[in-house]
C-alpha cells in the first residue's frame, strides 16, 4: 500500500482519488506517521469487506453439535449440578 504525505495528497488529490476508485487504497501520513487510510466506498479492500465465511472449509462441525452438552444444560436448568 502506497503512502503519501499531506502535501503530496493535496497536490495529487485527483490522481489519488482515481487510484482509490480503482480499488487501490493508500495512506496519508503526517510527519512520517500514518494518519488516514483512503479506500473507495465499494472497494473490496475497504473496511466494508465481508468476513462471512472466511473460515469455510477449515474445520468440521460434528453432526450432534446442537445436542452437545444437552444433559449438563438440562441439569443446570433443573437446579444445578451438585
pLDDT in tens, 16-51: 999 999 889 999 999 999 999 999 887 555 455 567
In the chain, % of residues over pLDDT 70: 88
User: What pLDDT score does 19 carry?
Assistant: 92
The more confidently predicted of residues 77 and 6 is 6
pLDDT band at 8 (very low <50, low <70, confident <90, very high): very high
pTM above 0.85, yes or no: no
Residue 28 backbone phi and psi in degrees, to 5: -105, 125
3-state per-residue secondary structure call for 29-81:
EECCEEEEEECCCCCCCCCCCCCCCCCCCCCCCCCCHHHCCHHHHHHHHHCCC
Q: Where are the domains positioned within the chain?
A: 1-42
Residue 4 backbone phi and psi in degrees, to 5: -130, 145
Q: Which CATH architecture fits 1-42? A: 3-Layer(aba) Sandwich (3.40)
Amino acid at each position: 500500500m502506497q503512502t503519501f504525505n499531506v502535501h503530496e495528497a493535496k497536490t495529487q488529490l485527483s490522481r489519488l482519488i482515481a487510484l482509490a476508485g480503482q480499488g487501490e487504497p493508500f495512506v496519508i501520513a503526517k510527519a512520517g506517521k500514518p494518519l488516514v487510510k483512503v479506500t473507495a466506498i465499494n472497494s473490496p479492500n475497504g473496511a466494508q469487506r465481508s468476513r462471512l465465511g472466511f473460515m469455510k472449509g477449515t474445520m468440521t462441525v460434528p453432526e450432534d453439535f446442537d445436542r452437545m452438552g444437552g444433559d449438563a444444560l438440562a441439569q443446570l436448568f433443573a437446579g444445578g449440578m451438585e
